Amino acid sequence: MAAENQAVRRRQVYAGYQGKENPTEKDRIVHFMQMYRSTEHFNATFILPWIEVSPSEAVRGGLRIVQAREGVHARMMRERLRELGETTFVDVSEERKATQIPFFASPVRSDLEKMDMLVHIFDDLDDFFEPLTTLIDTIKEDLQTREMLRTILEDEYATVKWFLFIHKELSSGSV
């Protein structure tokens, strides 16, 4: 729990491995992908109602692709987890769903408020993704998963680049 709070406070994509004393490479991969898949699935879930209520064509356009990307990431990690022998999947907490989904689905909250919430997660982008970058760098055996994670990471950088762009556009009132 302390590691999770620290990661949340430090805003990182993953709080680190929890489980066996001497985890194998596969143990570390499975734990990471279980946690990450749950977040990706959640992202795809809360972005959908946001698209429906956004008054901005520009925001809707970019969010449609970001939402689809998160859905693909979640689906592909679930597929890979199954191939690695997993049959059950971690989900984000009900508390998180209850607070975040209504916020992003709200027609009263502005796109700028919602984008503000997201861009501040990425204040230090490389540090935010450091747990994933490090995992990719340490994988020696499971090259398929390694390259799945590397290409997902590249997608995430593209997503954050667009968040920062559209946040600036929203802040200046040009969209």
Interface residues toward Fe ion, by CB under 5 A? 40, 70, 73
Q: How far is the CB of 39 from Fe ion (least distance, A)?
A: 8
For the bound state, the minimum distance from the C-beta of residue 71 to Fe ion, rounded and expressed in Å, comes to 9
Residues 91/40, Cβ–Cβ less than 8 Å: no
Q: What are phi and psi of 87, to 5 degrees?
A: -125, -15
Q: Is 173 left (phi over 0), alpha (psi -120 to 50) or beta?
A: left
Nearest to 26 by CA among 152, 129, 133, 144: 144
Give 5 or 158: the residue with its C-beta nearer to Fe ion: 158
Give the nearer residue to Fe ion in terms of CB position, either 40 or 111.
40
* Comparison of 73 and 146: residue with beta carbon closer to Fe ion: 73
69 alpha carbon, distance to own chain's centre: 10
For Fe ion, the closer CB: 21 or 126: 126
Q: How far apart are CB 40 and Fe ion at their closest, in Å?
A: 5
Burial of 8 (0-12, 13-18, 19+ CB in 10 A): exposed
Shortest distance in whole angstroms from residue 21 CB to Fe ion: 31
In the structure encoding, which two tokens stand for residue 67, read together? 């939402």
Closest-by-Cβ residue to Fe ion is 73
